[in-house]
């Protein structure tokens, strides 16, 4: 009676055309049953692991070793336990930074191991415009892992860390709702208008207090808008010309569209800008405050309800319902105190270069100045972004 043996075969060495095909030809010849495969190539160096079951004697593996010798590859064969690995609670950890150093990797990986998590796989997602890695973690205490890694991120300003459950919801996120001021764009729209109206310093001071959560947002908005009274449409157009998109904003929105995501803007700023951004970036939904214009000039009043912290969250729920997207498959991105409710209810809430009060309250922060770095938190690699860009040129 033959004895079934479970063997882990590791093939390593210079990557070569046809290596995988030849390996599986050898395995077929010895009657092996393939149970698992994993392959990675780093700087043209191959590591290929194949888990097999075989009932042949050691002599049957001679062809495998000959294959390695002829190809200049190193072959390791190890007999392992036949029972499959049992996966418990899993999560994916994304590390993002301008340069991710060994000491930063040590802090992150030690936190995972200290909380009994095992790293099954590490994948590089990008080298540009930032370095990013994705770690698949199996087992451990998910809440403790998450809290520990968020503590590492808070104490390491050069490193951003996102922790998400590794499940279908993470892979299926289909709605991204973006704040506008200081998120999609680098400016505050009302400050741009105030510069044209000659009241920049007064408005900027009120804006900063509101974003820090030190004064009521709705009241602060009415105060600031009243200072814009009399600004004509030419001044509004000059303000638009001074608007600067956040680096990576076009790439981010374009890539989301290609991936089938629905995108939406919600702003405590103004519809005269949000709607133009919506058209320019091919964004499906937008909501913002409407400035009253009479005779070609701003009256200093807002028409209709003001977009507040609570209404931003309501907008996310509303668009999710319209698009048929479960709330845990949504992403929200913002920087100010009036974004906090929206960030809290989303499946993934990201505080993007946010005010301290928001960074402290949000589960995930991103402090690099590139909006498209959010793609890496969604598991999209830089190569996939560039491939999508290239396909448009064909």
Q: Which residues are catalytic?
A: 179, 181
Cβ(102)–Cβ(108) below 8 Å: no
Contacts of 203 (CB under 8 A, 6+ apart): 190, 191, 194, 224, 227, 228
Q: Which residues of 240-257 are buried (b: 16+ CB within 10 A; e: fewer)?
A: beebebbbbbebbbbbbb
Residue of 213, 218, 175 whose CA lies nearest to 347? 175
DSSP state of 232: B
Q: Of 106, 159, 167, give the one whose Cα is nearest residue 132.
A: 159
Give the strand pairing for 118-126 and 131-138. antiparallel
Conformation bin of residue 65: beta by default, left when phi > 0, alpha when psi is -120 to 50 = alpha
Per DSSP bridges, beta strands 297-303 and 330-334 are unpaired
| 358 and 333 Cβ atoms separated by less than 8 Å | no
Straight-line distance from the first to the last Cα atom of the chain, in angstroms, rounded to the nearest whole number: 59
- Apex 23 CA angle, 21 and 29, nearest 5: 105
């Amino acid at each position: 009676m033959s004895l079934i043996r479970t063997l882990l075969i590791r093939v390593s060495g210079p990557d070569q055309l046809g290596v995988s095909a030849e390996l599986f030809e050898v395995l077929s010849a010895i009657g092996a049953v393939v149970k698992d495969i994993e392959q990675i190539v780093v700087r043209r160096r191959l590591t290929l692991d194949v888990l097999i079951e075989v009932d042949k004697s050691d002599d049957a593996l001679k062809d495998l070793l000959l294959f390695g010798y002829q190809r200049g590859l190193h072959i390791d064969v190890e007999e392992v336990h036949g029972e499959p690995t049992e996966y418990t609670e899993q999560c994916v950890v994304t590390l993002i930074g301008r340069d991710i150093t060994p000491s930063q990797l040590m802090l992150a990986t030690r936190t995972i191991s200290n909380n009994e998590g095992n790293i099954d796989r590490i994948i590089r997602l990008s080298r540009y415009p930032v370095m990013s890695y994705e770690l698949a973690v199996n087992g451990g205490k998910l809440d403790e892992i998450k809290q520990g890694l968020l503590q590492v991120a808070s104490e390491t300003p050069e490193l951003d860390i996102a922790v998400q459950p590794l499940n279908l919801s993470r892979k299926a996120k289909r709605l991204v709702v973006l704040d506008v001021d200081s998120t999609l764009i680098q400016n505050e729209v009302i400050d741009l208008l105030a510069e044209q109206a000659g009241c920049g310093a007064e408005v900027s001071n009120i804006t900063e207090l509101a974003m820090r959560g030190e004064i009521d947002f709705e009241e602060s908005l009415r105060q600031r808008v009243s200072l814009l009274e009399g600004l004509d449409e030419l001044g509004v157009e000059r303000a638009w010309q001074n608007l600067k998109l956040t680096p990576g904003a076009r790439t981010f929105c374009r890539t989301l569209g290609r991936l089938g995501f629905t995108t939406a803007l919600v702003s405590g700023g103004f519809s005269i800008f949000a709607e133009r951004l919506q058209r320019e970036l091919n964004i499906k939904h937008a909501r913002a405050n409407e400035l009253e214009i009479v005779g070609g000039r701003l009256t200093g009043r807002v028409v209709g309800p003001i977009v507040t912290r609570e209404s931003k969250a309501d907008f996310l729920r509303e668009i999710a319902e319209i698009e048929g997207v479960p709330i845990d498959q949504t992403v929200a991105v913002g920087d100010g105190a009036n974004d906090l409710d929206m960030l809290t209810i989303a499946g993934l809430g990201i505080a993007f270069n946010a005010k301290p009060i928001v960074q402290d309250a949000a589960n995930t922060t991103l402090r690099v100045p590139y909006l498209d770095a959010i793609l890496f938190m969604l598991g999209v690699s830089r190569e996939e972004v560039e491939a999508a860009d290239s396909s448009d040129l064909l």
